[in-house]
A and B are shown apart, each in its own frame.
Chain A
Amino acid sequence: MKIARLPLATLETSVVPSRARRKPKSYWALRIGIGILAFYIAVALLSLVWTPYDPLTPGIGDGYDAPSLAFPLGTDRLGADMLSRLMAGARYDLGISLTAVAIALTVGTTIGTFAGYYGGKVDIAILRGVEIFQAFPGLLFAMLVVQAVGAGITNVILVLSFVGIPDYLRLARAEIHAKRHWQYAEAARMVGNPPWRVAFRHLLPNSVGPVLAFTSINAAFSALVTASLGFLGLGLGPNTPEWGSMIARGQDGVMTGQWWVSFFPGLAIMGLTGSFYLLGDALSDITDPRRRQ
């Protein structure tokens, strides 16, 4: 085909927006959230190769040793080192909640995108199913299922992700459903994209903001449920250094003055969920399209 250059616009006076993006106010929240989370991950990784003592071995101290130079965070009733257990616990609590979130995010968003784009009876059926399921409290559901199928890391992860799926599904579905008739979706169809490509390549990337923001809220919830299951003795084996079960093991000491056994795992949980919430806040601000140009 022969090409001739057309004259460029001469009268067009409209100002082309600059490339610079508005700097979001919530950067500090993002930084703190990422900082805390990075610290937890580092500790979890470190615990794989080094802890001050073996976290699973009791009787290193006499039992209920107060924090000291030898045991910076004290020991529990059985004399196991609290710092070592706390470090190893990061692996469990962080690993379980993040894996569960990743599964829920992937499965929920995929089903939600599908339902939202195609609409119709399948969409309605999926939505109603989700609503019925969500009428049931998540923690209670998790407890019942773990009780029924038995404890173990895999089961806890599967239950947690199952509880998380409906929220991702609904968020993705609502976003995609609202946007499927937007002009760029129609344009994408006309360019010859098959429906799944319109949904996943064009609509989904423009809909991830709310989903991502929710991810951190969900991660915080998952961390809390993991700890709750551990606390209730439903999650992992009794000697597993999981923060929730560590709190449970220390609760007698709270009455008699050995506060550190429950306090430090509690602090660890609080720090983790707090960092997730900070991240969620920052992400929902940053991904809000109104804050972009």
Chain B
Amino acid sequence: MSFVNMSVGDAILQVRDLHKIFPVEGGRRLVAVDGVDLDVAAGETLALVGESGSGKSTVARCIVRLIEPSGGEVTIDGTAIVPLPTKRLAGIYRRIQMVFQDPNASLNPRMNVRQVLDEPLRLHLALSGAERAGRVRELVEMVGLTPAHLERYPHELSGGQRQRVGIARAIAVSPDIVILDEPTSSLDVSVRGQILGLLLDLQQRLGLAYLFISHDLQVVQHVADRVAVMYLGSIVETGPVADVFRDPRHPYTRALLSAAPVAQWGVKRTRVRLAGEIASAIDPPDACRLVGRCPMAQPSCSAGKPSLIDLGQAHAVACPVVVDRPT
């Protein structure tokens, strides 16, 4: 697993100061994404983790413009996606693709596997019918299905097979980067392992970069090179997976890591507890988002939202308290 620096030059996907604000009733503002920076290098996997309400899926959808971001810049290999006129988006989708969470819902029930895989080829590539048919056959075999599956409709496939089709669709036009939006969270554990194996295998063979959206820390540890932890619309900690999992610094990261049960006998966890439940993202005060829940909170935490502080070795944490008082 390669360790990749957060420098600007080699990033295939670059996200700067991404914002998404939803207006809510009463003229208030729901700040779903609040100034997110991300870099994904060619061939690497960056995991974006967080619980529900963290804004991680909104980030993914803003990057590919399924949701219109309120502000910020996104570039892919130097070409802007945000901002970009909607008409020119189709060209961008040759470079960046997405695998959706629920393979059940992301496949059109009235299209068989062949039609699903043929569509991106027809829309993006100037290929003849025979060439497309060949590529479709190549794709199903790449994801571990057989040409016999081509005439099947989604309801005739198992959950794992459906997700394989979703993956084949995403890699059909040979993108540089694929956003994986919780690709295994609706699958059984045994199928989960197979799908993760397939994703890692494809990454190696095709040199794909992944932005892996997940709430499953075990999976993240297994597949990602770097991780960014989100809480209430902001990244609170980022760094190489090994470092963050071995030495989590932000109180939220610690709480999150210590909450995940391990499927092994005799493992005792020491939980780091947060008070209550996630706060509202509506009109958030200019303070650390964890104030009120954090066991380490200081008066200074309420004075301004902290930004990421570099700890060296690409590890950064948005908490001056833990930086000043290392444990």
A and B: direct contact (Cβ < 8 Å)?
yes
Task: Report which A residues bind B (CB closer than 8 A).
Answer: 1-9, 11-17, 19, 182-184, 186-194, 202, 205-206, 292-293
Please indicate the chain B residues that have their CB under 8 angstroms from the CB of A11 in the complex: 190-191, 193-194
Stretch of B155-163, B226-234, B280-288 at the chain-chain interface: B155-163
Is there contact, CB below 8 Å, between A190 and B105?
no
Query: Chain B 98-111, CB within 8 Å of chain A: the 1/0 string?
Result: 10111001111110
Is there contact, CB below 8 Å, between A187 and B160?
no
| 25 A/B residue pairs, CB under 8 Å, sorted by A | A1-B138, A2-B205, A3-B138, A3-B142, A6-B142, A6-B144, A7-B144, A11-B193, A11-B194, A12-B194, A14-B159, A14-B188, A17-B156, A183-B100, A184-B106, A187-B108, A190-B64, A190-B97, A191-B93, A191-B169, A192-B90, A192-B94, A192-B120, A192-B123, A292-B155
Q: Tell me, in angstroms, the Cα distance from A9 to B193 when the chains sit together.
A: 10
Measured CB to CB, the closest approach of chain B to A33, in angstroms, equals 24
> Which among A9, A182, A187, A194 is the interface contact of B144 at CB below 8 angstroms?
A9
Please indicate the chain A residues that have their CB under 8 angstroms from the CB of B17 in the complex: none
Contact of A3 with B141 at beta-carbon distance under 8 Å, contacts A19-B156, A183-B101, A191-B120 already known:
yes
Please indicate the chain A residues that have their CB under 8 angstroms from the CB of B144 in the complex: 5-9
Q: Tell me, in angstroms, the Cα distance from A63 to B236 when the chains sit together.
A: 94
Please indicate the chain A residues that have their CB under 8 angstroms from the CB of B206 in the complex: 1
> Which among A15, A186, A192, A206 is the interface contact of B124 at CB below 8 angstroms?
A192
Whether B130 is near chain A, meaning CB under 8 Å from some CB there, is no
Question: A208 — nearest CB in chain B belongs to which residue?
Answer: B110
Q: Tell me, in angstroms, the Cα distance from A189 to B98 when the chains sit together.
A: 11
Please indicate the chain B residues that have their CB under 8 angstroms from the CB of A3 in the complex: 138, 141-142
Is there contact, CB below 8 Å, between B156 and A189?
no
Q: Tell me, in angstroms, the Cα distance from A188 to B122 when the chains sit together.
A: 13
Please indicate the chain B residues that have their CB under 8 angstroms from the CB of A14 in the complex: 158-160, 188, 191
Contact residues of A: prevailing secondary structure: loop
Q: Tell me, in angstroms, the Cα distance from A191 to B111 when the chains sit together.
A: 14
Is there contact, CB below 8 Å, between A12 and B190?
yes
Question: B120 — nearest CB in chain A belongs to which residue?
Answer: A191
Q: Tell me, in angstroms, the Cα distance from A6 to B173 when the chains sit together.
A: 20
Please indicate the chain B residues that have their CB under 8 angstroms from the CB of A19 in the complex: 156
3 A-B pairs closest in CB distance? A183-B106, A6-B144, A192-B123
Please indicate the chain A residues that have their CB under 8 angstroms from the CB of B120 in the complex: 191-192
Please indicate the chain B residues that have their CB under 8 angstroms from the CB of A183 in the complex: 100-102, 105-106
Contact of A187 with B107 at beta-carbon distance under 8 Å, contacts A1-B138, A14-B158, A293-B155 already known:
yes
Measured CB to CB, the closest approach of chain B to A292, in angstroms, equals 8
Measured CB to CB, the closest approach of chain B to A105, in angstroms, equals 19
Q: Tell me, in angstroms, the Cα distance from A4 to B107 when the chains sit together.
A: 25
Contacting residues of chain B (78-114) with chain A, CB-CB under 8 angstroms: 90, 93-94, 97-98, 100-102, 105-110
Q: Tell me, in angstroms, the Cα distance from A202 to B120 when the chains sit together.
A: 13
Contacting residues of chain B (196-212) with chain A, CB-CB under 8 angstroms: 198, 201, 205-206
Please indicate the chain A residues that have their CB under 8 angstroms from the CB of B172 in the complex: 191
Please indicate the chain A residues that have their CB under 8 angstroms from the CB of B198 in the complex: 6
Contacting residues of chain B (115-133) with chain A, CB-CB under 8 angstroms: 119-120, 123-124
Please indicate the chain A residues that have their CB under 8 angstroms from the CB of B166 in the complex: 187
Q: Tell me, in angstroms, the Cα distance from A186 to B124 when the chains sit together.
A: 17
Is there contact, CB below 8 Å, between B190 and A193?
no
Whether B12 is near chain A, meaning CB under 8 Å from some CB there, is no
Q: Tell me, in angstroms, the Cα distance from A14 to B64 when the chains sit together.
A: 33
Whether B38 is near chain A, meaning CB under 8 Å from some CB there, is no
Q: Tell me, in angstroms, the Cα distance from A17 to B156 when the chains sit together.
A: 6
Is there contact, CB below 8 Å, between B106 and A202?
no
Question: A186 — nearest CB in chain B belongs to which residue?
Answer: B66
Is there contact, CB below 8 Å, between A9 and B191?
yes
Q: Tell me, in angstroms, the Cα distance from A19 to B110 when the chains sit together.
A: 14
Please indicate the chain B residues that have their CB under 8 angstroms from the CB of A15 in the complex: 158
Please indicate the chain B residues that have their CB under 8 angstroms from the CB of A8 in the complex: 144, 146
Question: B99 — nearest CB in chain A belongs to which residue?
Answer: A187
Query: Chain B 136-178, CB within 8 Å of chain A: the 1/0 string?
Result: 0010011110100000000111111100001001001100000
Please indicate the chain A residues that have their CB under 8 angstroms from the CB of B201 in the complex: 6
Question: B101 — nearest CB in chain A belongs to which residue?
Answer: A183
Measured CB to CB, the closest approach of chain B to A187, in angstroms, equals 5
